[in-house]
A and B are shown apart, each in its own frame.
Chain A
Amino acid sequence: MAQAISPPEALEDAPARRYSSDAAGLGRLRAGAFVAPALALIAVFLVFPALWVLYLGLTNYRLTGVAAAEPQLVGLDNFVKAVSDPAFWNSTWLTVQFVLGSAVIGQVVLGFTIAWLMRDRTGPLKRTVEGLVILAWILPSAVVSFLWVALLDRDGGTLQALLHVPGLAPLLDHPMLSIVIFNTWRGAAFSMMLYGAALGNVPPSHLESARLAGASGWQQLRDVVFPHIRGHILTNLLLISLWTFNDFTPFMLTAGGPDGQTEVLAVHVYKVALQGSELGYGAAVSTVILLINLVVAVFYLRLLRSKK
């Protein structure tokens, strides 16, 4: 069977037509009409303000004070300031740990595991497991922060009570590990749903024939499932890395502390932009995050395409 997936092949060197695609006879004009409403919305409410943010990064704009009335172009000063600030590099390194730990390892693995375990089940067990996982994801951050403080608290936390370890203070002694586990818990639902839906698109007949041929669970995964959902894996990795890079919820748990040990870039931006009202500098740091994300995206693309 023709490989039905296309990890969105980026930029160069993609063969012009890998599959006979336009089955519905759409044609370019009507395809354009299909894309137009989405593009119009995106152009007005996303591209335009995003470019504005990039521009703000080149100014000394502030929310209040003299610089709010007359912002001035300062060129790359904000970027120079960011790059020469050890706090920025500290935040970048923490963000890398946070994304690797909670998104790439935590959410992807846990999300896929749950989706795989639940793939051909129905009934209350599946609904309970999925419902709980989803609940963790949809609860508002304000509530979730209370939940996790109640769990990890140093006096009277649930974890402490369960493990009978008095003085256990995970949020202070292992802050990064705490927010990694927290974010795994918080975000696994998305990967679970995406993989669940993707597994639903794997033709049962393929799995059936593999099973009849005596393939073990692992072999089925590797030979039938993985090739079929590779595009989804790429998308999933890309999206959750991107989102985790910009995730601000750890702030609710640790306020970036103790001593900046959990001040990931998104928290850093919040602190300079909202608390310090330095919007120009905040925009510049956001731009740097964008560039890092670009590198990450290109890396994923190369990684998943090279296996073809």
Chain B
Amino acid sequence: MGLRNRSVGAVAVLAVSALGLAACGQSSGGDSGGTIELTIAQNAIAGGKNAAAADFLANWVVPKFEAAEKAKGKEVKVKFVPSGVDDEQYKTKLSLDLKSGKGADVIDLDGIWAGEFAEAGYIKPLSDVVGAGAESWDGWQQIPESVQGLATFNGKKYALPVGTDGRVLYFNKTLFQKAGLPADWQPKSWQEILDAGAKLKSAGVPVPIQINAGTAMGEATSMQGVLPLLAGAGGEVQKDGKWTGASQPLKDALGLYQKIYGGSGLGDPKLQQEAKGRDKSFQQFAGGKIGILMEGDYFWRGVVNPKDGVAKMADRDQTVGYALIPAMEPGKGLRGQDFVSMSGGALRTVNPNSKHPKEAFDLLAFTLSPDALKEETKDGNVRITPRTDVNKEILAGEPLLTFISEKVLPLTAYRPPVAVYPQVSAALQEATAAVVGGTAPDQAAADYQKKLEGIVGGAGNIAS
């Protein structure tokens, strides 16, 4: 009998705890004594994704900031909350946290999420959260207008930009030499890209041109594919609040895809369909099988980086050339430009639920101070920071990043930061997939418009 009673008792306890009455768990961000506790979260983790950023935060920012605050007479304790997953999953988690009034005091997010997070009330204008201190931050003067735009929604600043990037055409100089093409190649029109591709092809290069297409590569198809081409044809995915449907620029962009993947042999249509296609395109470029590749500066820093890239090229600096992405024809690009690009960038902001918004903003500003940025980007971790003063110093030894910061950023464009953009982007990717699969560009563009109407709420929101 005793056995039974005990067991039934244990079962009852478990059942009760299941109902949450005895559940444990703690919410973050509490105070202990006079110490202010802050947390900072990034999609970075030691030993994994963005490891260098994680190490920098844990080993430099945290102790230095605590010491700096102590010197001011404040007892502050900072905890870094690492994470290292897919951006989509990070976004999901961040949304759920913010929705429930949780999350770290200082958070990182992709610039493209700013609009939808703001609309949902997950993030608020810095002036509301922090007060006047945010507007008068001395760093703003160093950040170019266009980069500030990343953090601005409906005319209000929601965050500080953490950095930016740009897209170019990479090419393999060894293969170019074999095909009789110059090492300082700079195409001025799409036709010149195709011509170079044809020469590479006759020189026996297996994949002359790789411009991302299809759905398997996801946003990489949009950012390093259809969007720069759309801009090159003078189009934009959204303009003055109206979405672009089956416009001529879109048809032109899809037309270029057809010229590359539609049986000309200039590109490899199957690579666009493979789930690991982008990884393989990197391996193939590093292996000398791809002539021309459209990619962002990440490709240079993280992929073919001879030190720690995922597809290392020991002779990167000698072999890999880069050129601006030309408009369809000179002067036909977006805003009448000869060359185009697309950019994105991360943001860092203060969680509206933070108990110590002022101190959190101090921490945020501290991570973007010149000293911090210089420290973060040393030892081969160079990237384009938001600050012109810092960029001048740190990019000096980096030819590609200097090129992007000086030549590409002035003519780049950004995606519309609104909630439906991911779906619009997916529809664009489907249009490229259709063209690679043999659909005529005009038809694919018409199908895209139809899909677009469903996404953005009717034909009224689409420019004719």
- A residues near B (Cβ < 8 Å) are 33, 36-37, 40-41, 44-45, 62-69, 145, 149, 154-155, 169, 171-172, 252-260, 271, 274-278
A69 touches B8 (CB 8 A): no
**Count of chain B residues near A, Cβ 8 A:** 42
**CA of A65 to CA of B117, assembled, Å:** 6
Given contacts A33-B8, A41-B15, A275-B88, contact A149 B215 (CB under 8 A): no
**Residue B20 at the A interface, CB < 8 A?**
yes
Q: Which residue, B8, B117, B120, B426, has most C-beta atoms of chain A within 10 A?
A: B120
B419 touches A64 (CB 8 A): yes
**Residue B276 at the A interface, CB < 8 A?**
yes
Report 16 cross-chain contacts, Cβ distance below 8 Å, ordered by A residue.
A33-B11, A36-B15, A37-B15, A64-B91, A64-B122, A64-B419, A65-B420, A66-B119, A69-B121, A149-B276, A171-B275, A172-B274, A257-B215, A274-B89, A274-B92, A277-B116
B122 to chain A: closest residue by CB: A64
**Residue B422 at the A interface, CB < 8 A?**
yes
- B residues near A (Cβ < 8 Å) are 8, 11-12, 14-15, 18-20, 88-89, 91-92, 95-96, 99, 113, 115-117, 119-122, 214-216, 218, 270, 273-276, 280, 418-420, 422-423, 426, 433-434, 437
A64 touches B116 (CB 8 A): yes
B423 to chain A: closest residue by CB: A276
> Contacts of A41 on B, CB cut-off 8 Å?
15, 18
**CA of A275 to CA of B92, assembled, Å:** 9
B271 to chain A: closest residue by CB: A154
B214 to chain A: closest residue by CB: A257
> Contacts of B120 on A, CB cut-off 8 Å?
64-66, 68-69
> Contacts of B437 on A, CB cut-off 8 Å?
258-259
A255 touches B419 (CB 8 A): no
A65 touches B419 (CB 8 A): yes
**CA of A62 to CA of B89, assembled, Å:** 15
> Contacts of B113 on A, CB cut-off 8 Å?
64
Interface of B is mostly: helix
Given contacts A276-B426, A277-B419, contact A65 B119 (CB under 8 A): yes
> Contacts of B91 on A, CB cut-off 8 Å?
63-64
Q: Report the 9 A-B pairs with minimum CB-CB distance, sorted nearest first.
A: A65-B419, A258-B273, A64-B116, A68-B120, A255-B275, A255-B216, A65-B116, A40-B15, A37-B15
A36 touches B117 (CB 8 A): no
CB distance from B383 to the nearest CB of A (A): 26
Contact of A254 among B11, B270, B275 (CB under 8 A): B275
**CA of A68 to CA of B113, assembled, Å:** 13
A36 touches B11 (CB 8 A): yes
B274 touches A171 (CB 8 A): yes
CB distance from A166 to the nearest CB of B (A): 13
Contact of B275 among A65, A252, A275 (CB under 8 A): A252
Contact of B422 among A66, A172, A259, A276 (CB under 8 A): A276
A257 touches B216 (CB 8 A): yes
User: What 12 additional pairs, Cβ within 8 angstroms, besides A154-B274, A275-B422, A278-B423?
Assistant: A33-B8, A37-B14, A37-B15, A63-B95, A64-B116, A64-B117, A65-B419, A69-B121, A255-B215, A256-B215, A257-B275, A257-B433
CB distance from A46 to the nearest CB of B (A): 11
Given contacts A69-B121, A275-B426, contact A169 B270 (CB under 8 A): yes
**CA of A232 to CA of B163, assembled, Å:** 59
> Contacts of A65 on B, CB cut-off 8 Å?
115-116, 119-120, 418-420
Q: Which residue, B20, B273, B433, has most C-beta atoms of chain A within 10 A?
A: B273
CB distance from A59 to the nearest CB of B (A): 15
B219 to chain A: closest residue by CB: A275
A270 to chain B: closest residue by CB: B88
B419 touches A66 (CB 8 A): yes
Given contacts A63-B92, A154-B274, contact A277 B215 (CB under 8 A): no
Given contacts A257-B215, A257-B433, contact A68 B273 (CB under 8 A): no
**CA of A254 to CA of B437, assembled, Å:** 16
A172 touches B273 (CB 8 A): yes
CB distance from A35 to the nearest CB of B (A): 11
**CA of A40 to CA of B19, assembled, Å:** 8
Q: Which residue, A45, A65, A169, A274, has most C-beta atoms of chain B within 10 A?
A: A65
Given contacts A255-B275, A274-B92, contact A154 B270 (CB under 8 A): yes
Contact of A68 among B14, B99, B215, B420 (CB under 8 A): B99
**CA of A32 to CA of B208, assembled, Å:** 71
B95 touches A64 (CB 8 A): yes
> Contacts of A171 on B, CB cut-off 8 Å?
274-275
**CA of A123 to CA of B219, assembled, Å:** 52
A253 touches B275 (CB 8 A): yes
CB distance from A266 to the nearest CB of B (A): 16
**CA of A68 to CA of B18, assembled, Å:** 29
> Contacts of B276 on A, CB cut-off 8 Å?
149
> Contacts of B214 on A, CB cut-off 8 Å?
257-258
**CA of A256 to CA of B426, assembled, Å:** 13
